[in-house]
Amino acid sequence: MKPVIDDYLPLAPAMLHILLSLAGEKMYGYAIMQEVARQSEGRYKLGPGTLYDNLQRLMKQGLVEEVASRSEENSSRRRYYRLSDLGRGVLSAEIARLEDVVRQARPHLKAPQPGRI
Amino acid sequence: MLRRLYIQMLWAHPAQFRYRFCDEMLEIFDRADGRRESLRLLLDGLISLLRQWTIRPEFRQPWQPVVTSGNARDPLLFHLIEPYKPRPFALMQGGLMALLLILGVVTAISHGGKLRGFVIGVHHSRPSLLPIDRDSVGEAELNTTVKFGPERKDPWRPLALSYFRMVRMLSVIDTDGDLAISHWEMINAPAVLRKFDVDHDGTLSAQECGFFPGKLRPDVADRLQRSFMREHPVLAALDTNHDNEISAAEIANSSVALKKLDRNHDSSITAIELIPDQSETQAAMILSWFDTDDDGSISLEERSIGDAFPLRSLLDPSDRNHDGRITRAELTTELAFRAEIQRQLERARRSIQ
């Protein structure tokens, strides 16, 4: 049975940031943490415990998959992760949902007219 | 130090998570810049540990080892360490050994006196430490006497003893003879009181309660009988309708009536609460003489009869609420007040002399 993308939405902030960081290329854990910090301009810092817990869940859900290590990498400890097709679809859907939320929110966030409650 | 702590904390993670991620987590920890960052990672690891054991049961399936291209130079590789599980037979063997050991220790302790000195709980002292003359023990007479200290004297006891003998009903209600009526003795009072009903008419007359008229004139005997029933608090409390006899209903209600005498509410009526003071006795006596209609008070009409005239100076001020009726309480208060005045005058007179 084909999974429905809407079942995965909305994404938790940590999951969204991990998927976003993996949107470009495959990465290992430490690189994901740095990418998340870069994307959020240092305002959101993932700890390794949170990162690997979320990666574990994302892999179980099939949104992220592990890939073979780069041959040029020296360290055998590193595991690389990338977005699956399903993960990419979920990320796209989540971004569309957030865009919709932002579009809906903008008129309400305009400064109120003087004299109006 | 922090690194060692972090490794221990990583070891505490569930096996599957540990083998899969802990090498990388340790690598990240090694890259930490400064002590503060290391502490932050340690805290993050602790939270992760809690999370994995509490809300991630789905990731705790048995781990299957994966063949990886490990580097021999790496000092610590979590994914290369085989998960260790003791064999069931070894567990059974260990359990059996532990059981046998416990049984042995328990047996040694329980039979300590019969076994040799090396057994736990046994100590043989040398004879030189505690010399015992066995011959003298065998022939000696058992002449040890135990002396108790002097018995504490209760100043109320002689008075209470004589009062309980005088009012025989009290000594019967007080079944344990401690000169106090306990809560259980109050509850048991109806059954005890019924034993006083000698003529089996269902009521207790003054004579059955202990009044002895002797060879007095009937009118004098009648007044003394009323005085008897009113001056003793226990009889006055039981005779609630003041008819100088305790009816069947009053006997049945005696437990409740007796509780009213417990002025300090300690669930026990002591001699202090039972023995009337002088004012109460006098008040009961006066009431028995002048309360001709037995309603428990002296009315204006009863005060105006010839016999009462000499006592008008006492009776009139006794009516403190000016309702025309002098109750026993009012009379007792007036008599106690006069006695106190008398005592103070006596003291003043002595100080002048």
Taking CB atoms and an 8 Å cutoff, what residues of chain B touch A79? Answer: 20, 24
- In chain B the first and final C-alpha atoms are separated, in Å, by 96
Our CA-based measurement puts residue B89 at a distance from the nearest CA of chain A, in whole angstroms, of 35
Q: How far apart are CA B179 and CA B176, in angstroms?
A: 8
Given an 8 Å threshold on Cβ–Cβ distance, is A48 in contact with B29? Answer: yes
Could you read off the pLDDT of B274-319 as tens digits, one per residue? 887 778 777 877 877 778 787 878 888 887 776 666 677 778 888 8
Given an 8 Å threshold on Cβ–Cβ distance, is A49 in contact with B69? Answer: no
Quote the ipTM score.
0.78
Could you read off the pLDDT of B107-121 as tens digits, one per residue? 888 776 555 555 555
B57–chain A Cβ distance below 8 A for any pair: no
More confident residue, B266 or A70: B266
Given an 8 Å threshold on Cβ–Cβ distance, is A77 in contact with B52? Answer: no
Mean pLDDT for the stretch of residues B156-169 = 78
Indicate whether A117 pLDDT > 50.
no
Question: Which chain A residues have any C-beta within 8 angstroms of a chain B C-beta?
Answer: 28-30, 33, 47-50, 52-53, 55-56, 60, 75-79
B33–chain A Cβ distance below 8 A for any pair: no
Indicate whether B54 pLDDT > 70.
yes
Our CA-based measurement puts residue A108 at a distance from the nearest CA of chain B, in whole angstroms, of 38
Q: How far apart are CA B171 and CA B165, in angstroms?
A: 6
| Maximum average pLDDT range among A7-16, A61-70, A74-83, A103-112 | A7-16
3-state helix, strand and coil shares in percent for chain A, rounded to the nearest 5: 55, 10, 40
Indicate whether B4 pLDDT > 50.
yes
b/e per residue A80-101 (b: at least 16 CB within 10 A): bbbbbebbeebbebbeeeeeee
Q: Which amino acid is at A3?
A: P
Q: Which amino acid is at B30?
A: D
Tell me what pLDDT residue B72 has.
47
Indicate whether B336 pLDDT > 70.
yes
Tell me what pLDDT residue B37 has.
86
Mean pLDDT for the stretch of residues B61-89 = 57
Taking CB atoms and an 8 Å cutoff, what residues of chain A touch B6? Answer: none
Our CA-based measurement puts residue A80 at a distance from the nearest CA of chain B, in whole angstroms, of 11
| Maximum average pLDDT range among B51-60, B66-75, B137-146 | B51-60
More confident residue, B274 or B78: B274
What's the angle, vertex CA B223, arms to CA B220 and CA B224, rounded to 5? 85
Taking CB atoms and an 8 Å cutoff, what residues of chain A touch B51? Answer: 49, 53
Residues 6+ apart with CB under 8 A from B102: none
pLDDT > 70 fraction of chain B, expressed in percent and rounded? 79
Nearest chain B residue to A47 by CA: give it: B44
* Nearest Cβ partner for A50 among B17, B44, B74: B44
Given an 8 Å threshold on Cβ–Cβ distance, is A77 in contact with B25? Answer: no
CB pairs under 8 A between A and B: 72
In B161-311, which ranges are E strands?
181-182, 268-269, 297-298
pTM of the complete model: 0.39
B59–chain A Cβ distance below 8 A for any pair: yes
* Nearest Cβ partner for B41 among A48, A55, A60: A48
